[in-house]
Structure 1
């Protein structure tokens, strides 16, 4: 190992790797100790059950607005002013009715907002807004 003296004004340009090796060895020991702990699972005997069929869900009511502003309920054209009345009738038939709202990209947002307000006034709380990726 080279020591500098008062007579020599040279800068020591060697990198001391001993601290780096010390840190790496400590990290290696930490990983060696913790790796087996991460792979061990707690053995549990889970209860056995019979397979259960999923709950049958009815198809949602689809409210669509095309690029000309026409409103459709499940592909049946409806006058925009009667949308709320038709939705109230659907809610009377099925209190758990779900509604999907889809609107053309070129539709004015005001039309979409009016449709959403009609859905809310009809008392429907389950609303999905359908968009494209």
Structure 2
């Protein structure tokens, strides 16, 4: 330990922290961790099961359903009527992996037409419906 001797002894106490014991403790802890870490890694042996997994098939492509300004329907940009719409909705609802239905309603169309499409999709059993809008500039 270092002792500081001064020429003027005013009787004041030195309030400095002695760092040497702290450094000694830290070095001992470092050595203990260096020794015990390799032991901890090999302490538990686990035999994991073997499994082979096939990659998942790609997700189905989304179906774009548009309600035009005049109230008509377009299925992936192909014009269809109401009965063909219900039939196609039932076809995609019957699939194991249903494609998502992206619904685009023209801003000039009455909301009732969009609500009718939503009701038809619900009756058919379509589980994933998304509304597509354009961002405002």
Q: 1:95, 1:58 → 2: CA distance?
A: 7
Match of 2:94, SS? helix
Change beyond 3 A, Cα 1:54–1:81: closer
Per the TM alignment, residue 67 of structure 1 is displaced from its structure 2 partner at its CA by: 0.8
TM-score (norm 2): 0.53
Per the TM alignment, residue 97 of structure 1 is displaced from its structure 2 partner at its CA by: 2.3
Could you tell me which of 62, 67, 70 is aligned with 2:69? 67
2:92–2:98 CA contact under 8 A, matched in 1: no
CA deviations 1:49-98 (Å, max 9, x no partner) are xxxx9972221011101111110111111112432221101222454221
Could you tell me which of 116, 122, 125 is aligned with 2:124? 122
Question: What is the correspondence of 1:1-133 to structure 2 with a 5 Å cutoff?
Answer: 56-133=58-135
- Structure 1 stretches of at least 4 aligned residues deviating more than 4 Å after TM superposition: none
TM-score (norm 1): 0.54
Unaligned residue ranges in structure 1 (runs of 5+): 1-52
1:66–1:103 CA contact under 8 A, matched in 2: yes
Q: 1:56, 1:86 → 2: CA distance?
A: 21
Q: 1:94, 1:104 → 2: CA distance?
A: 30
Q: 1:124, 1:65 → 2: CA distance?
A: 17
1:84–1:121 CA contact under 8 A, matched in 2: no
Q: 1:97, 1:58 → 2: CA distance?
A: 5
2:60–2:97 CA contact under 8 A, matched in 1: no
Unaligned residue ranges in structure 2 (runs of 5+): 1-54
Q: 1:97, 1:54 → 2: CA distance?
A: 15
